[in-house]
Amino acid sequence: MSKRVQPSPLDAFDRKILAILQRDNMTPQRTIGDAVNLSAPAVQRRIKRMREEGVILADVSVVAPEAVGQSITIFVEVEVISETADQIERAKTEFAAAPEIQQCYYVTGEADFILVIVVPSMADYEALTRRLFFGNNNVKRFRTFVAMDRVKVGLGVPLE
Amino acid sequence: MSKRVQPSPLDAFDRKILAILQRDNMTPQRTIGDAVNLSAPAVQRRIKRMREEGVILADVSVVAPEAVGQSITIFVEVEVISETADQIERAKTEFAAAPEIQQCYYVTGEADFILVIVVPSMADYEALTRRLFFGNNNVKRFRTFVAMDRVKVGLGVPLE
DNA sequence: GACCCCGACGAAACAAAATTGCAAACAGAC
DNA sequence: GTCTGTTTGCAATTTTGTTTCGTCGGGGTC
C-alpha cells in the first residue's frame, strides 16, 4: 500500500534538489543542475529515484481557494466517544473521503482528530457538520476555529 | 503585494484543468487537452492566465517528511495576551519566518493562531517551543497535539 | 443586413526541455 | 592491481511546451 520502495539514504545533492522542487517543481532540470553542480540527466535520475521511492509523494499545483469560491478555511478538533481501532479506522475513512476535508490528522491530546476544511460559505460548513458530526453517533464533541487569515500555507518540509 | 491581477471568472474548462493540475501538475498539456476537449495551446493559454491571475499560486513537489527525517507533525493552538493589530502582525511575521512552521492560520475562537509544525524529534519541538512561545512574552498559552497519523494531507480544494 | 472588432480556438511550425544510450570516472571488495 | 557496482557527463533522440498564424463566432455600430 505504501509507496516507499527502498529507504535509500539521501545525500546532500538530493536534499538540495528537494529544496528546490518543493518550492517550484517546474524549475528546469538544467537550472537545478547548475544550482547543485550536477548535469541535467544526473538531476533527472535522482528525481526519478526519489519519486519511485516515495520521497517525493506528489507534484501538484496549489490552487487559491478564494479563486474557486472556497473562501472559508476552518479547523475542527473532533473528540470521539469510542476509541476502538475499528471505530477510529471508520472515522479515518469517512474523513478522508470528504472532498471538503483538505487535511485530517489523528492526534494525541485533548482531541482525537484535527481537520482542515475548505468550504464556500458558513452555510456549507453548517451542512457539513450536520452530515459529518451530528450524523455520526461516535462524535462526542467538536470545536470550530474559523481562519481569518491564512498566514502561511504549504507542505514544505525543513531541509538541510 | 498580492499576486492576483484580475478576477476573471473561471469556466468549466478552467475548473477541469485545475482539478487535474492540483492532482498532478506534470500531466502533459496534450493529455489535459484530450481530457477536457481542448487543444494543447488552448490549455496552455488558460494555465498561463491562471498563473498570472493568481488562481494557481504555486507548483510544488510534495516531499514525504519522514523521508527527510522530519517525522513528527504537531499542531499547536496559540493564545496571545494582547491582540492589538501591531502585536498580531508581529506574531504573524515571526511564525511565517520559522521554517519548521509549515502552516500558520490566524483564527477566531478559543485560540488565536493554529500552527502546523514539522520537526525531527520531540526534543526539537521542545526547543522550538522555548524559542517561539516561552521566549515570546505575548504568548499567554499554547496547547500541543501530536499527530499519530497523517490521515489525509494536501492542499487540494474541492472543484465542481 | 453589412461591417468591423475582439477574443478564443486549432493546426502546424518551432523551441526547449526531458529522456535514453553509451562510454568514462569513481569507490569499494577481493 | 583488477574487478564489479554505481553514478556521472555528453550527445542523440524523443517528448513536451510555446509561438505563429489563419479561422471562426459573438456583439456592437451604422
Give pLDDT tens digits for A55-69: 999 999 999 999 999
Q: Compute and round to an integer the Cα radius of gyration of chain A.
A: 20
Q: Residue B19 is which amino acid?
A: A
N- to C-terminal Cα separation, chain B = 29
Band of the pLDDT at A2, cuts 50, 70, 90?
very low
Q: Is A64 on the interface with B (CB under 8 A)?
A: yes
Q: What is the pLDDT of residue B5?
A: 54
How many whole angstroms separate alpha carbon A101 and alpha carbon A83?
A: 21
For cell 511564525, name the residue. B95
pLDDT of residue A123: 97
Assess whether pLDDT exceeds 50 at residue A31: yes
- Residue A80's CB: how many other CB atoms inside 10 A? 19
Pairwise CB contact (< 8 Å): A110 & B75? no
Calculate the angstrom distance between C1' of C7 and CA of B55: 21
Distance CA B50, CA B112 (A): 32
Determine the Cα–Cα distance for residues A30 and A85; give it in Å rounded to an integer. Answer: 49
How long is the CA A37 to C1' D6 vector, in angstroms?
A: 19
Q: Does B108 contact A146 at a Cβ distance shorter than 8 Å?
A: yes
Inter-helix orientation angle B40-52/B12-21, to 10°: 80
Quick check: B105 and A73 CB within 8 A? yes
Distance, in Å, from the CA atom of B152 to the CA atom of B62, rounded to the nearest integer, reads 13
Q: What is the mean pLDDT of residues A97-119?
A: 97
Question: Taking the mean position of all CA atoms in its chain, how far away is CA A62?
Answer: 11
Burial class (CB in 10 A: 0-12, 13-18, 19+), A99: exposed
Window 66-95 of A, Cβ < 8 Å to B: 67-68, 70, 73, 75, 77, 92, 95
Q: How confident is the model at residue A9 (pLDDT cuts 50, 70, 90)?
A: confident
Do the chains contact at B63 and A95, CB–CB below 8 Å? no
A45: pLDDT strictly greater than 50: yes
| Strand D contacts in A 23-42 (CB under 7 A) | 33, 37-39, 41-42
**Percent share of chain A, pLDDT over 90:** 91
Q: Which residue is nearest to nucleotide D15 (CA to C1')?
A: B28
* The pLDDT of residue A1: 47
The whole-number pLDDT of residue B3 equals 46
Protein-covered nucleotides on strand C (Cβ within 7 A) = 8-12, 16-21
CATH number for the domain running over B12-52: 1.10.10
Q: What average pLDDT does the segment A131-150 reach?
A: 96
Q: Is A149 on the interface with B (CB under 8 A)?
A: yes
pLDDT, residue B160, reads: 75
Which residues from the 35-74 window of protein chain B have CB within 7 angstroms of nucleic acid chain D?
A: 40-41, 44-45, 48
The CATH T-level fold of domain B65-146 is Alpha-Beta Plaits (3.30.70)
Question: What is the structure's pLDDT at B9?
Answer: 81
Helices (H), chain A: 12-21, 29-36, 40-53, 85-97, 122-129
- Beta-carbon contacts of residue B70 (< 8 Å; ≥ 6 apart): A157, A158, B118, B119, B120
Residue type, B84: T
B33 CA → C6 C1’, Å: 24
Q: What mean pLDDT, rounded, does chain A reach?
A: 93
Window 82-111 of chain A: CB closer than 7 A to strand D = none
Q: Is B8 on the interface with A (CB under 8 A)?
A: no
* CATH class entry, domain A1-61: mainly alpha
CA angle A61, A9, B64 (to 5 degrees): 30
Q: Which three cell numbers stand for residue B14?
A: 478552467
Identify the residue with better confidence: B4 or A53. A53
Which distant-in-sequence residues (6+ apart) come within 8 Å of B22 by Cβ? Answer: A60, A61, A62, A63, B155, B156, B157, B159
Q: How confident is the model at residue A4 (pLDDT cuts 50, 70, 90)?
A: very low
**Residue pair B79/B139 in contact by the 8 Å Cβ criterion:** yes
Looking at residue A3, what is its pLDDT?
A: 44
Output the tens digit of pLDDT for each of chain B's 160 residues: 444 456 678 899 999 999 999 999 999 999 999 999 999 999 999 999 999 999 999 999 999 999 999 999 999 999 999 999 999 999 999 999 999 999 999 999 999 999 999 999 999 999 999 999 999 999 999 999 999 999 999 999 999 7
For chain B, the structural domain boundaries read 12-52, 65-146
> Angle, to 10 degrees, between the axis of helix A40-53 and the axis of helix A29-36?
100
Q: What is the mean pLDDT of residues A138-144?
A: 96
Q: How far is C-alpha A149 from the chain's CA centre?
A: 19
Q: How far is CA B66 from CA A144, B22, B73, B145, B150, in A?
A: 29, 23, 10, 18, 11
Q: Answer whether A62 sits within 8 Å of B61, measured CB to CB.
A: no
pLDDT for residue A6 = 59
Q: Is the pLDDT of residue A107 over 80?
A: yes
